[in-house]
Amino acid sequence: MDTTKKILVVDDDDDISIVMKMMLDHFGHHVETASNGNEAIELAASKKYDVILMDVKMPGMSGIDAYRQIKSVDKASNIVFVTGYCSGKEMASIIEERCDILKKPFEIGALVSLIDKYKRS
């Protein structure tokens, strides 16, 4: 069984994107990156990902707003929020959407375990 996933990492911090990409590449996944919500929406509209790892706080468009736009055109998207801090309102939105959350800083094992549970519907 092929366990390779196609993953989109969305984070405005290039260092975080690079490290996450390197970690996931190491485990054999195919990883692309986006630095903001608009770029993530464009990529998600043109390609299908097994998992999208979405930062919550980004300049311009929040990860939650990008999530809603992606889900409006592709209900099958699996989106995991990655965050160091969420306000109560943001956390309520994430809980309401029933999405997984990966809190920064995280260990590689937690990231890999989370990725392993997803497959494209």
Set out the domains of the chain in order of their start, with CATH numbers: 6-116 (3.40.50.2300)
pLDDT, greater one: 90 or 23: 23
pLDDT of amino acid 120: 63
| Residues 62-85 pLDDT 10s | 999 999 999 998 888 899 999 887
Confidence band for 121, pLDDT divided at 50, 70 and 90: low
Neighbours of 108 (CB within 10 A): 13
Let me know: does 3 contact 28? Beta carbons within 8 Å. Answer: yes
CA angle 100, 65, 30 (to 5 degrees): 55
For the segment 35-45, the average pLDDT, to the nearest whole number, is: 96
Let me know: does 36 contact 58? Beta carbons within 8 Å. Answer: yes
Mean pLDDT over each residue of the chain, to the nearest integer: 89
Q: Whole-angstrom Cα distance, residue 3 to residue 39?
A: 26
Q: Whole-angstrom Cα distance, residue 48 to residue 75?
A: 11
Cis-peptide, bond into residue 59, ω within 30° of zero: no
Helix, strand, or coil (residue 2): coil
Highest mean pLDDT out of 3-7, 40-44, 92-96: 40-44
